[in-house]
Structure 1
């Protein structure tokens, strides 16, 4: 695994960042780019083998910690681990989550609650736990991974869509409350992105393979990660409460072909 940065000019030297769901997909790319930009990174995930392998590949400035994001004790242990290993915590990326693909009326209440517990309550617990550590450093940056489904009403997302709208709102609330503490809180809203998880749905990488977006393709993990690392950095020092869509124009509106009925 290379550690070449795709975000020129971004410098995270001396900062420590905890990234959830970082054993694969978008999370692992965030971790890789953060290390490339000079950060110390704690990779937090339930996937222990993949997480340990990722940390080993990223080198001395990466560590792995097992984390169930629905566990308050687990979150406290993860933040304490980051502080013990690297002397403090400067950034948090709430990336862990699960998706759904059913109609609202077909989704069980049990599954709906589980999705919200992981995707939304997990973000809440993470921010609540990390804030004291960020305050100790005098400043910090929190980046919450929402979704294009948190910007529009997207069919077949049910609990997922509801949770991502919740993450968007919770981000703004936290930004308002934490601004005077110099803790910035922003959300990133990926469109369809090619990862090991989404590839199982049949999507393909490359131009022309996703006509739903104006750009006609799905995103790549490194494109989403670049936006996240930017928000973690001091280059984004006057950004808080922002929602950054990285979706190929999907949420901007329907494509010309769709409007013309082609």
Structure 2
């Protein structure tokens, strides 16, 4: 199959392309650096010519609420329209576990809007919702730092390795459309502040448990960013991830 990966030059996209190529598929990256702009439509029709599947793992360059909403809705509409013209048989999109349970977050509201467009877009679809990536722990800590203290809510947290996310997304792309969504998460559930404290061990900043600390603009409930039902679990633990990073 020909599978076009939108956002194929990023952390998840590059790994998805490698997995699809190893499985014998024709996988191509679509991104601004490859001449494809899903906001303006430039290069989209050419990129999707002959495609069987489109995988969207792109992300907004700005997380400001208005910007991120515009990015996910405009780019998704562009893709779905082009997919119908090209006869694409399956649209796969990467979303976030709990996006629909955290309406105070502008970023997560934008992901919900994206999912709704995909659901109603007229192309068979699958949504893979992932928890937060191990790789983003330092960025989360930096975003939560106030006056030298990293304030993290003491809620349930089940992060996942990007390699596992890429594997789940690639499997979805090679499978049949579900016309539905499912959750993927890491193998271990921990407390958010405790995870960040361990993930940035050696950082001089204190990590404080703060129930009022917002995450992406939302104050989190105990189970609002972890799977609440069945989920597919990754194989890589955080200890495995750290050990692998130390040897690469």
Q: Report the TM-score range of the alignment, normalised by the length of the smaller protein.
A: 0.5 to 0.7
Query: 2:108 & 2:118 partners in 1: Cα distance?
Result: 15
**Structural mapping, 1:21-40, within 5 Å:** 21-40=7-26
The answer for unaligned runs of 5 or more in structure 1 is: 1-14, 49-64, 102-110, 179-183, 204-209, 254-262
User: Aligned partners of 2:46, 2:2: CA distance in 1, in Å?
Assistant: 16
Aligned twin of 2:182: 244
The answer to whether the Cα contact below 8 Å between 1:149 and 1:165 also exists between their aligned partners in 2 is no
Distance in 2, Cα, partners of 1:99 & 1:243: 25
Aligned-pair distance for 1:146? 1.8
Q: Of residues 166, 191, 209 in structure 2, which corresponds to 1:225?
A: 166
Which of 86, 108, 120 is matched with 1:133 structurally?
86
1:200 pairs, out of 120, 126, 139, with: 139
Q: Which residue of 2 aligns with 1:145?
A: 94
For these two proteins, the number of residue pairs brought into alignment is 181
Structure with greater strand percent: 2
Change (3 A) 1:17 1:36: same
Residues 29-83 of structure 1: per-residue CA shift (max 9 Å, x gap): 111111111111111223x3xxxxxxxxxxxxxxxx232221123322432xxx3
Are the equivalent residues in 2 in contact too, given 1:119–1:163 (CA < 8 A)? yes
- Find the aligned partners of 1:217 and 1:69 in 2 and give their Cα distance: 31
Determine the structure 1 residue equivalent to 2:192.
none
How far apart are 1:242 and its partner, in Å?
A: 1.0
Distance (Å, rounded) in 1 between the aligned partners of 2:20 and 2:113? 26
- String of CA shifts for 1:235-257, please: whole Å, max 9, x gaps: x43x432112113471318xxxx
Question: Which residue of structure 2 lines up, in the alignment, with residue 188 of structure 1?
Answer: 128
Q: Considering only aligned residues, what root-mean-square deviation do their CA atoms show, in Å?
A: 2.7
**Shift in alpha-carbon separation, 1:145–1:128, aligned structure 2, 3 A:** same
Q: CA offset at residue 24 of structure 1?
A: 2.2
- TM-score w.r.t. the length of structure 1 is 0.60
Runs of 5+ consecutive residues of structure 2 not aligned to the other structure: 143-152, 190-225, 230-248
Deviation at 1:99, TM superposition (A): 7.5
- Give me the whole-angstrom Cα distance separating, in 2, the residues matched to 1:193 and 1:99: 18
Stretches (4+) displaced over 3 A? 210-213
Q: 1:112 and 1:41 mapped to 2: Cα distance?
A: 32
Q: Which has the higher helix share?
A: 1
CA distance in 1, matches of 2:82, 2:119: 18
- Report the secondary structure of 2:29's partner residue: strand
